[in-house]
Structure formats: structure tokens, C-alpha cells
Homo-oligomer: A and B are copies of this chain.
């Protein structure tokens, strides 16, 4: 009995261990803000890319080597331990869990991304791929993004909301197979209306390639595009963000379109 009691007490005394990562790189202000916020909740361990990895989707490093480096970006306000990694956001989570952390974290948070990862952007997002990777490993995980691409964005406005979401996730757990995609509108704390649980809005990018010629006479392209919202629902992340709310989309990595199985079963494939 005594041992059980002690063990319980030890558990309840132990601060939660929080793995922090991102896709903008270990020195990004968004990550530094998230580290600062998470220090109010638990022990913080950082494994983040050594260079920007935006738009990396769920890439992993298969045919190349990975380097990691123990470092301290912010001596005064930094995490308990910090490592940079030469790989993608998903690599950072894999390496952190298998090699760098000495115990399993209670939570993985990714971000705060400089820019939105709402609606279809979740597919391209390195921020969310890190959270999804942790989710695949069975660790509760949340990606945070601020709808402001600026390096000087104000992350403090969302501090209270972020801490609230993180504490609720630690207390209630996140359903198995699910990670949270949290997007925060670019508003002052006073203007923020609250938090809405949403579905991913249907949207895509209308691409436009900017074609140029390099100094050697060879044509090349820049990928640009315009966001196209195809969804008028008021239960979507885009609606929430446009109306002053933080959006929380429960996001899964079982990509099966269960509703389509019957349709395809009617094809003439089985003779």
C-alpha cells in the first residue's frame, strides 16, 4: 500500500513533460513563445528543425543522415533541454521520442506557426505533421498556428487560450487517433471572442506560377496562389476564424473515406 501511495504521490507531484517542436525552426519567435507558455504548465523539452521547414507536409528523412545538436537558444527563458535537428518536423518528433528524451512526454505541442494551418492547409503543414507524428506514437498532441505570417507577430494575445487548451488536453486526454489543429486569428486579446470546436472547411489553392528567366537564360517558376474557400458552413474553422474565434479541429490520421467503400464496392472489380 505504501508503495502505491508513494508512487501516486510522486506522479501527481511530477510536472507534465511537454515536447515542443515546430516547422519554422528552433529560433522562430512562435516557438520561443510556446516554450514560454508551456513552462507555466510543465517541464519543457525542445526538439526542433535547425532550419525552416514550412510546407514540408509529412516528409521524413529516408535516404539521408540526421544530425542533432544540444543547444540553448534562450539562456534566461529557455526550455529545460533543447536540441536542434537537421530533419523535418516529423523527424524531430521521432528522434526526440526514440533518442533524446529519457521518458515519454505527456504532451507534444507544435508551433506556434507563423501563419494559418486551417482548412486544406493542414495537408501541407509541417507544424501539423509533427503533431500527427506524436499522435501516431500515442502521445496527446496539438498544433498551434497564428494567422499572421510576420516574424514580429504578437503571440501573447493567445497565451491564456493556449494554456487553457493545453491544460484541458492534459486533464481530459485526447481521443486515440486524434490530434488537435488549433488556429488563432490575428486579433487582440480583447477582440478574441472565444474558442470553437470545428470541422475542416472545404477549400483549395488556386495556384499561379510566376514564370521567370534566371541570369543563365533558363526558365524557372515560383509557386504562388490564392486561397479559395468552397464552404459556407458555420461549423468550419474558416468561419470561426473569420468571426473572431480560435478554431480547434480534431484531426485524424486514419484517412479512410469510410463512406466511399460501398460506392467502390459497386464497381465491376470482382469478376
Q: What is A's interface to B at a CB cutoff of 8 Å?
A: 52, 54-63, 65-68, 90-91, 94-95, 97-99, 120, 122-124, 129, 132, 136-137, 164-165, 168-169, 172, 174-175, 177-178, 180-181, 194-195, 197-200, 202, 204, 207-209, 211, 214, 218-223, 248-261, 263-270
Given A65-B214, A66-B209, A198-B261, 9 more A-B residue pairs with CB atoms under 8 Å apart are A57-B90, A94-B207, A94-B223, A175-B257, A181-B255, A199-B256, A199-B261, A251-B255, A251-B256
Q: Determine how many copies of this chain the complex contains.
A: 2
Task: Tell me the dominant secondary structure on chain A's binding face.
Answer: mixed
Q: List 29 A-B contacts (CB under 8 A).
A: A54-B62, A55-B59, A56-B59, A57-B59, A58-B123, A59-B59, A59-B124, A60-B124, A65-B214, A65-B221, A65-B222, A66-B209, A66-B221, A66-B223, A67-B221, A94-B207, A98-B207, A98-B209, A99-B209, A120-B136, A120-B253, A122-B255, A137-B204, A174-B264, A177-B257, A195-B269, A199-B258, A251-B257, A252-B257
